[in-house]
Structure 1
Amino acid sequence: MSTLNDGSSSPPALHLYINMGNVHTLPANSVGPKGSLQEKLLAIKAAGFVGIQGEEPPLCHSMGLGCAGSARFNTPCEVAPGVSALKAEGFECATLHVGWGHESDAEIDALVSEIIGVSIAENFPLYIETHRATITQDSWRTVQMVARHPGVRFNGDFSHWYTGLEMPYGDMIDKLNFMTPVFERVRFFHGRMGNSSHIQVPLADPTMSGAVEHFKEIWVRCLTGFLQTAVPGDFLVFAPELLHPEINYARTIINAQGERVEESDRWLEALQYAQIIQTCFATAQQRVTNNGANRP
């Protein structure tokens, strides 16, 4: 599968996008973007994001913003027409939920082979998401899938593994090393952190100090994998995707007025995520430089 490339001779880069689910669903007390879609996009661009994931590629392009899509494919026959529709709408790539998680290896192989083939044929990056209720819901099966399909590329939404597989329970470094084949193939991120029991938790929560460091290490490993194989013009997307309580992501509390409200402002959290991933990218660049210097 292809990696996003802007056609330039620029060094491989990190591009900050934001998933529109992080924006459209903000409560009234958030300081995040308000108003029409165009007004929201203007605020997003002013905050330093260079693209979005979600909707209206023509409007995004007219404003100098990139635009990524998303889709769900449950059978191989859905892939080609689905990608054709995404391209026609003007999306530059897509993250994918694939299958429901109960597929046999043969069914997984058929899906992944078709996704890789269509991605190459259409020159359209397709990134299979690490997500619950999909073929990637289990890290062991996902690593085995990579061994059979080394050309696969991923959207790393590792909150699903961190919480769903309770990754902190056990030897974390051993687990991260095992997942290396996945990390090396991440070319898109959904930015979200959780703890061992909750998939999306504010960064300042007391339970998150260890989790934040774990996620940073995961992200650095992914970014290092990207940099080790990237060519000029290649870029990897990081898109915060902090979702609303109506779908059981953001937690809520009762405030002093007796109202049930979200624990934090997900817009401000997304801005913090943008700072974190840029630091991770710098760390990954240094690791690649150091590894190169240490080669005989």
Structure 2
Amino acid sequence: MDALSVLLQNVHLFETKYYRLNGAGNWSYSLTRQDTILFYLVMSGSFCIDVGNGRREAHAGDLIMIPSAHKHTSYALNHHGEDAEPLDELLNNCKENTLDLHGDGDPSSSLILIECKYDKEMIRPLLSVLPSILPEISEESEGRFEVIDVEIRLLTLEAKHERMGKTAIINHWASIMMIECLRVYIESLPEATDNWLKAMKDPFLTKALVAMHEIPSKNWTIHKLAEVAGMSRSSFAQRFKDVVGIPPLTYLIDYRLRLAARYLRLQQNSISRIGELVGYASDSTFSQAFKRVYGVSPKAYRQQYQQQLLA
């Protein structure tokens, strides 16, 4: 398995929603979300997105990912987004997942907006190094694959019918779009960047990353990881820190504890068993390490999560 695949294997998108937005005239809207990834598929025409630190134009055939959506404004090319209405209010007039924006007649642009929730802990390191809006994947973009065009057609068809399994299908589509956007973005990273995602392209570091993610319970040492990477101990340790920004075992501990937090939320295994699954031989060592990061013991963390579900 490649490094990006193992990085994403515990990153799950859920509660995916989608809307077809047909804009005519000087349309605009604002959208505020938390803990949400947004995708725009531009079916026809053009429009602008402003995420607060710059204006981005998007055109027919483009795919755009906004990885950590807080607030942004979308508007027609010949508009400036003034007096943008909240999209949630406009969606009160949405029929069959389709919303006509500002005006009659043929739309000057047609978009599919997809929004989905994610597991905050598992995706945190990824979001920390992504730009507020990823470079658009256009029809001319190097690395664009036909799967995007197929997906657009399938999503358009799916939107027209209520069929069993629709939610599961759309969640999977959102994951495919995220992977497509990420790999095109990673492939475009210059060698001089300090973005740790360039480790995904490193032929030596990827071997160590895959090993840590696939077997987090193993008693990994710098020496063992260096052997997996095919490097000397000192060269591996230095290269990993230079590219990823932290030492290998610091990265491993962070991953183990994020994975433990996920297991505590979603599994019924005992705390002792979860500790074993992420590489801790004793309950006390696991509890101490977990509390240093999350501020509470594994037991208290699980109880807090269960209480939130009942609230």
Is this a same-fold pair by TM over 0.5? no
The structure, 1 or 2, with the larger RCO (C-alpha pairs under 8 Å, 6+ apart) is 1
Computing the radius of gyration over CA atoms, which structure comes out larger, 1 or 2? 2
Q: Using structure 1 for the length normalisation, give the TM-score.
A: 0.27
